[in-house]
Structure formats: structure tokens, C-alpha cells
A and B are shown apart, each in its own frame.
Chain A
Amino acid sequence: MDLLHLLNQGLFWFFVVMTVVSAIVVVFSQRVIYSAFALLFTFFGVAALYLFLAADFLAASQVLIYVGGILTLIIFGVFLTAKIYTMDIPQQTHQRYLALLPVVAMLGLLTYGLFTADWKTVTPAAEPTTKDLGQLLLTTYLVPFEVASVLLLAALIGAVRLARPMQEEDRD
């Protein structure tokens, strides 16, 4: 039992390191394609960390949306961009010192929160959380749920509008 616990601890730290290291690669890599693939590990690591928090639904949606959806799109975007390997994409930082101001302010606020927050300990649910979420989504959070569908509809209408080149309009 103790050995298993130790192994689990090790596993946890493995995913922590993986997430952080790959996130660093995403930010500092000079090539977009490397960033994109490193992002895969970041997203995956985050999903694993959600599992450690007993948030199974969150982990599943992380894999579905981020790994399965957004990342795939990013990689397709990279593939469809001509000469991505040789293209010199400028990656500079402008107004470094001005940006420091909000960054320090934000860091200060968050650190302040870290030390003053009243941290709550939650006993993990006995069952997977998806069931409760399903109940909540269709009772308490019904209105946001339905608004979300209209939000997606707005995205769809917008995509339809933007995707039709001008000259194809109104010809026939």
C-alpha cells in the first residue's frame, strides 16, 4: 500500500514536470511546429492533473476539446501554412518594461491571495463527478447551458459569413 502511494506520488510529480517543461518549450521554441507538439504534452499533462484532483469530467473534456480539437486545428494550421519550417516568424517582445507593470501587479495580487486565502479542503466525491454535473447542467445551470448553444450558433453564423468570398455572392 505504501509502495503504491509512493508510486502515485512519483506519477503526480512526473506529470507536473512534464506539464511545466513542455509549457516552457511552447513559449520559448523558435519553431511553431515544435511549440504545437509541445502543447500536446502540456494539455495532456493538465488532463492527468485533473484526474489527480478527481475531476474526471474536466479531464475528459480537456482531452476532447483541447487535445482532440484545438490542438488538432493548430497542427493543421501549421501544416497548411506554406514553408512553415523555413519561415522566419518574428518572435520578439515589444515594450518589455511597460509590460512589467501589469505583470508585477497581477503577480502581487495573486501572491497576496495565495497567502491570505482561506483554503478549503474538499473530500473527494465517492463517485465520478460526471453524473452530478449532468444533473446540475440540466437543472441549476439550464440557462447558461442553453445560452451556450446560441453562442455556438453565433460562431457558426459568423463562420458562414466570413467563409464566403465576396465574388461568390449574389451571382446566381
Chain B
Amino acid sequence: MTEQFTPVVWMLLSAALLTAGMMAVAIFLGPRKMNPVKAEPYECGIKTEDPPLNMRHPIRFYVVAILFIIFDVEIVFLYPWAVVFRQLSLVAFISIAIFIGVLMAGLYYAVKKGVLEWR
């Protein structure tokens, strides 16, 4: 086992413990008075409607989700490139430009096809 990145892991652990600790404090110390309003998704005064069982959500949510994942993956690819891009050649720059260009073309296509319009 290497111990090179253990500080990062310790940081992860302390972040997790801090969150868990704050939740625990809230659970154990906070007063608990249940009433029906508190069980509603939005406590802002507007009465929540029970959605019908067969309610279907607009498919645009799906497009947004797919776009999110696609560009999430793109970012992962860009991350190692960003670390070394100063040392890389022109070929590498052109390559990354093609990579981003292809995805941008896809995004342009999606926008022009109107799948992101929220009518």
C-alpha cells in the first residue's frame, strides 16, 4: 500500500465525519415535533398536490441528463490534458480541438433540433 495520497484520504474521511457528525447532532439534539405540514415536500405554504400514479415527466429531463453525463465524461478527458497542455505539441492541440469540436457540433445539433426547448 502506498502512502503517498493518504493525506487526501484523511481529508475525505474528515469531511465525511464532519457531515455525519453534523447530521448526528441535528438528529440527537434537535427538537422533534412532527406535524403533517412538515411531511410535505415543500414547506413554503403552497399546498402540494399528490401526483397521479401514472404521471410522466417531460422527456427533456432525459436529454438534460444525457447531456450532463456526456460533458461530464468530456471534462474527465480534459483534466489530464489541462495538466500537461503546455508541454504538448501542436498535434495534441489540434487533437483536443477536434475532440471538443465534435462534441460542440453535437450540442449545436441538439439545440437546433429543439430538444432543449422548454415549451
Q: List residues of A whose CB falls within 8 A of some B CB.
A: 5, 8-9, 11-12, 14-15, 44, 47-48, 51-54, 56-57, 59-61, 64-65, 68-70, 72-73, 76, 80, 82-83, 124, 130-131, 133-135, 137-139, 142, 145-146, 148-150, 152-153, 155-157, 159-160, 162-165
Contacts and interface: CB of A to CB of B under 8 A. Distances in A.
A47 B102 CA distance: 30
A76 B69 CA distance: 13
Contacts of B76: 60-61, 64-65
Given A48-B12, A152-B73, A160 B105 contact: no
B96 A138 contact: yes
A137 B81 contact: yes
B46 interface: no
A20 to B, nearest CB: 16
Given A131-B84, A152-B73, A152-B106, 14 more contacts: A51-B6, A65-B76, A70-B69, A82-B53, A134-B80, A137-B80, A137-B81, A139-B92, A145-B99, A153-B106, A155-B66, A156-B109, A160-B115, A163-B60
Contact of A124 (B2, B52, B98, B107): B2
Interface of B: 1-6, 8-10, 12-13, 16, 51-55, 57, 59-63, 65-70, 72-77, 79-85, 87-88, 91-92, 95-96, 98-99, 102-103, 105-107, 109-110, 113-115
Contact of A135 (B88, B95, B113): B88
Q: Dominant SS at the B interface?
A: helix
A127 B52 CA distance: 56
A165 B92 contact: no
Contacts of A148: 77, 99
Nearest to A66: B72
A163 B5 contact: no
Contacts of A44: 12, 16
B73 A54 contact: no
10 contacts: A5-B3, A48-B9, A52-B2, A72-B68, A82-B53, A130-B83, A137-B81, A138-B81, A156-B103, A159-B115
